[in-house]
Amino acid sequence: MKFSNKLLAVVVLLLFVIQSCKQKQNETSVIETEKWIELFNGKNLDGWTPKIKGYTYGDNYNNTFIVENGILKVSYKAYDSFNNAFGHLFYKNPYSNYRFKMDYRFTGEQVSGGRPWALRNSGIMIHCEDPKNMGLEQNFPVSIEVQLLGGNGIDERSTGNLCTPGTHVFYKDSLITEHIIQSSSKTYHGDQWVNVEIEVRNDSIIKHFINGKEVLQYNKPHIGGGAVNTGDKWKSKENQPLKSGYISLQSESHPVEFKNIKLLEL
């Protein structure tokens, strides 16, 4: 009987070790198959091109987008006044199914002439139109915006919200035509770094995550609505699903910094 108990204990131990090894192999396999692409090299703007309202594609007006100490920054050091120079820095490749993540933080003071709502305000634009086709005076690309907001030190102000320049989505099974859907995130005051991640599944589900927590989910992004001064050029495309597009980072009058910019194709 004693021998049988010892044998049983050895068998149980072996099974436990085998199971643990399999689990570690599976975890390692997942890590190995997740090949994140570094979209920002930490040295310069290679792979990224600006389009700023009032200026041609590729004109980095007043050095709005710069790289310092391994950080990609929106800078207004050379500005006397913002003058509605809304800008977007586009990555070179369009994507459809992916996860995108980075860290961001707001710093300093808003430049003179910035809109009140643009205080500590930026965004990640996904499923963007081709920036080469944007009008000279166009303020935003037709896209889905993952809005990034910093706290003002007093009020509650969620981040990872949704804005819809020239687009609509379905939220909780209903068509939403309002321009903003707020997330469930908490408020992040001051200059602290915040991690944002987006999971994009074609024209199906899109999810926003802040510091690892899901804060918003919606689906069926499609063309429609206003908030973009493009005239009638998108009128004939209303209700068409947005299945892919470019990614861009915003400049909306408040200094903001970005780092650890990565993408995983799904």
Residue bearing the bigger pLDDT, 66 or 26: 66
Judged by average pLDDT, the poorest of 26-40, 82-96, 98-112, 207-221 is 26-40
pLDDT score at 143: 96
pLDDT score at 153: 93
pTM of this structure: 0.86
Residue 23 has pLDDT above 80, yes or no: no
Domain borders along the chain are 48-265
Report d(CA 162, CA 180) in Å as an integer. 6
pLDDT digits (tens, 9 = 90+) for 72-94: 999 999 999 999 999 999 999 99
Residue bearing the bigger pLDDT, 248 or 20: 248
**pLDDT grade for 237, boundaries at 50, 70 and 90:** confident
Average pLDDT over residues 43-55: 98
Average pLDDT over residues 21-32: 52
Report d(CA 113, CA 161) in Å as an integer. 24
Report d(CA 55, CA 165) in Å as an integer. 20
Residue 216 has pLDDT above 90, yes or no: yes
Report d(CA 155, CA 182) in Å as an integer. 15
Average pLDDT over residues 5-14: 55
pLDDT score at 22: 58
Q: Which residue has the tokens 């495309």?
A: 237
- With respect to CATH, is domain 48-265 assigned 2.60.120.560? yes
Average pLDDT, the chain: 90
Measuring CA to CA, how many Å separate 24 from each of 12, 21, 162?
A: 18, 5, 37
